[in-house]
Amino acid sequence: MGKESVLEGGGEDRLDFTYLDDLVAGIILVLSEKRALNQIFNLTYGESRTIRELASLIEKQFPGVKFEEGPWNKNVPHRGTLDISKARDILGYVPKSPLEDGMEQYIDWYRSIDFAEIVK
């Protein structure tokens, strides 16, 4: 849209990004493991990354994209790494796509879509 995106708090907050294929693999494990019944699992990558790191990956793929730093929104909680050890132990869950790989796959998919056809 030609506008700069804002990195709240300078992009230093952390999120545990998860690629869709890893999530789906985890859900399949949950559905196929009897010990998973009535259990709660974190199905993430298990390693938080900064929003600034995500922005850097986007800038490499889309050189015209610009980010500006802004103040932290005090209404948004700080996040970080989620513990996936229970999912590993009970389900054998092992995510395969770190942020770099997942973003590359997502961007490849995004570029392959003809949005003009979708919105008709």
Render pLDDT for 99-115 as a digit per residue (tens, 0 to 9). 999 999 988 888 888 76
Render pLDDT for 42-83 as a digit per residue (tens, 0 to 9). 999 999 999 999 999 999 988 888 899 999 988 988 889 999
Strands (E), the chain: 5-8, 14-15, 49-50, 67-70
Mean pLDDT of 74-95: 95
Identify the bridge partners of residue 49 per DSSP, sorted by sequence position.
15
SS (H, E, C) 30-86: HHHCHHHCCCCCCCCCCCCEEHHHHHHHHHHHCCCCCEEEECCCCCCCCCCCCCCHH
Domain 5-118, CATH number (from 3.90.1640.10, 3.90.25.10, 3.30.465.10, 3.10.350.10): 3.90.25.10
Q: Which of 78, 82, 24 is nearest to 51 (CA)?
A: 78
Q: Which residue has the higher pLDDT, 119 or 58?
A: 58
Identify the bridge partners of residue 116 per DSSP, sorted by sequence position.
none
Give me the chain's average pLDDT, please: 91
For position 61, what pLDDT does the model report?
87
For position 116, what pLDDT does the model report?
56
